[in-house]
């Protein structure tokens, strides 16, 4: 797997709240406890030595309980909060070194923030609220859609002339309204919308600026469970189309596992574990993370590809049964897959076949003597493949994105992955 390009780098960030944070920084670096520091100095540790690499086009979830520091951390990325120590890099540039003008540019064009409270303008319609996402980021300060005046900064950046700015900006906003599924509600006011629909307006407004990074702070937490699920689906769908870099804050592990490409878990301002969802579930870093994940339905999160093992294979027609049996013995596996010329499995040769005394002589001319093989895509979750594993004597063949053999998963591996870790 190639190393992914980093969009946001958080390097050894500390945040201490209090009258003189720098005076206690060394104590915090030396390991002073949160309660100890508060009682003795009146300072509170918000973030302690957190480092993260957030890849381009990832949904990166930062999660933890109340007071864990997750919302404090996300506000460092666009410098709504200044760290006591450490660095924040965006595209390799240190955000903390930006002057006022460069910081405004970062906030207007590179990043957009979506909060838990929707902050819609009650006197504006849906389409007007979405268009306001362009207006308030106008470099000239006069709005994207001037009335008889010069074209604002964003209009210039988008190539809009003064005569067509209004129509083109409306078209841009309409595209985002369509993307979040609010067609037909353009002329409704926020008070006429459900909570989930209001959140969609807020998301469309953020998307309208075409920012490279979306910072989403508990964006769905105020919604009812069913609406929340719909919004998670909507976000995944949008991400599949737009491939933004999204930093998503939540206290809900199910939400984190559902939408996150990577998850960072914080406790009392400290990073306890970071990794893909499967890693968080299958290899918790400590007892705290283990307690967090112990009640999760692992089958709905762990992908087949993450538990697949390498299996030997031979090519149909080109290979003989002797070739397959030789690979069986050399690999210490009980199965050799037989694949066509494109690497797609058409059957298998197994140790059980030899033990049963079947005729395994000559070339493997076709699949008539082979054991049948069930196949599953590597991106599927193991809950979906469980019925296949239960009815198949042969390990289920795992396919890559092109349908070629990527590995195999025996039944016992599926069952083991479903068992909750209790140590």
Domain range for 378 is 304-419
From the list 123, 121, 134, the residue with the least C-alpha distance to 206 is 134
Query: Within a domain: residue 385?
Result: yes
The CA distance from 419 to 60, in Å, is: 26
Ordered per-residue pLDDT tens for the chain, 423 residues: 345 699 999 999 999 999 999 999 999 999 999 999 999 999 999 999 999 999 999 999 999 988 899 999 999 999 999 999 999 999 999 999 999 999 988 988 899 888 766 678 889 999 988 888 676 655 444 444 443 333 444 444 445 444 445 677 788 888 888 888 888 898 999 889 888 888 888 888 888 888 899 999 888 887 788 888 888 888 888 888 888 999 999 998 889 988 999 999 999 999 999 999 888 988 899 999 998 888 888 888 888 998 999 999 999 988 999 999 999 889 878 999 999 999 999 999 999 888 888 888 889 988 888 999 999 999 999 888 888 888 888 999 999 989 999 999 998 888 888 875 434
CATH number of the domain where residue 388 is located: 3.10.580.10
342 to 116, 305, 397: CA distances (angstroms): 49, 20, 15
**Residue 380 in domain:** yes
| Angle ∠(317,320,321) on CA atoms, nearest 5 | 125
Has residue 356 been placed in a domain? yes
Determine, yes or no, domain membership for 311.
Answer: yes
Flag whether 74 is in a domain: no
* Other C-beta atoms lying within 10 Å of the C-beta of residue 376: 20
Q: Are 89 and 11 in contact (CB under 8 A)?
A: yes
Q: Could you tell me if residue 107 is inside a domain?
A: no
In a domain, 352, yes or no: yes
Give the side-chain half-sphere CA count within 13 A for 321: 18
Q: Is the dihedral of CA 358, 359, 364, 366 positive or negative?
A: negative
Burial 94-104 (b: 16+ CB within 10 A, else e): ebeebeeeeee
Distance, in Å, from the CA atom of 129 to the CA atom of 113, rounded to the nearest integer, reads 15
**Taking Cα atoms as reference points, which of 368, 417, 420, 372 lies closest to residue 395?**
372
Closest CA to 259 of 289, 230, 299: 230
Print the SS3 string covering 299-330.
HHCCEHHHHCECCCEEECCCCEHHHHHHHHHH
pTM, two decimals, is 0.77
In a domain, 176, yes or no: no
d(CA 132, CA 134): 5
- How many folded domains does the chain comprise? 1
């Amino acid at each position: 797997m190639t190393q992914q390009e980093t969009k946001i780098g958080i390097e050894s960030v500390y945040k201490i709240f209090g009258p003189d944070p720098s005076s206690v920084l060394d104590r915090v670096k030396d390991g002073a406890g949160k309660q100890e520091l508060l009682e003795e100095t009146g300072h509170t540790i918000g973030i302690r030595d957190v480092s993260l690499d957030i890849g381009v086009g990832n949904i990166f979830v930062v999660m933890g309980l109340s007071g864990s520091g997750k919302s404090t951390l996300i506000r460092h990325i666009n410098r709504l909060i200044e760290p006591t120590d450490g660095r924040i890099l965006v595209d390799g540039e240190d955000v903390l070194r930006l002057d006022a003008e460069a910081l405004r540019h970062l906030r207007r064009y590179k990043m957009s923030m979506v909060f838990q409270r929707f902050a819609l303008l009650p006197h504006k319609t849906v389409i007007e609220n979405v268009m306001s996402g362009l207006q308030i980021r106008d470099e000239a300060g006069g709005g994207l859609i001037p009335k008889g005046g010069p074209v604002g900064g964003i209009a210039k950046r988008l190539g809009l002339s003064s005569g067509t700015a209004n129509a083109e900006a409306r078209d841009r906003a309409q595209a985002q309204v369509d993307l979040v599924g609010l067609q037909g509600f353009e002329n409704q006011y926020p008070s006429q919308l459900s909570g989930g629909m209001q959140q969609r307006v807020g998301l469309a407004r953020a998307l309208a600026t075409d920012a490279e990074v979306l910072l989403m702070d508990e964006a769905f937490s105020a919604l009812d469970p069913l609406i929340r699920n719909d919004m998670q689906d909507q976000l995944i769908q949008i991400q599949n189309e737009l491939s933004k870099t999204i930093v998503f804050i939540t206290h809900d592990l199910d939400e984190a596992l559902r939408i996150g490409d990577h998850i960072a878990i914080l406790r009392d301002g400290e990073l306890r574990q970071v990794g893909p969802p499967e890693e968080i579930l299958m290899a918790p870093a400590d007892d705290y993370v283990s307690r967090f994940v112990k009640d999760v339905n692992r089958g709905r999160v762990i992908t087949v590809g993450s538990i697949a093992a390498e299996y030997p294979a031979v090519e149909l027609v080109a290979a003989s049964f002797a070739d397959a049996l030789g690979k069986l013995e050399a690999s210490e596996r009980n199965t050799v897959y037989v694949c066509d010329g494109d690497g797609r499995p058409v059957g298998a040769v197994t140790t059980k076949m030899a033990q049963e005394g079947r005729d395994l002589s000559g070339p493997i001319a076709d699949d008539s003597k082979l054991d049948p093989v069930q196949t599953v895509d590597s991106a599927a979750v193991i809950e979906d493949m469980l019925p296949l594993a239960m009815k198949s004597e042969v390990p289920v063949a795992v396919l890559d994105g092109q349908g070629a053999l990527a590995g195999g998963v025996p039944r016992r591996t599926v069952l083991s992955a479903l068992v909750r870790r209790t140590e």
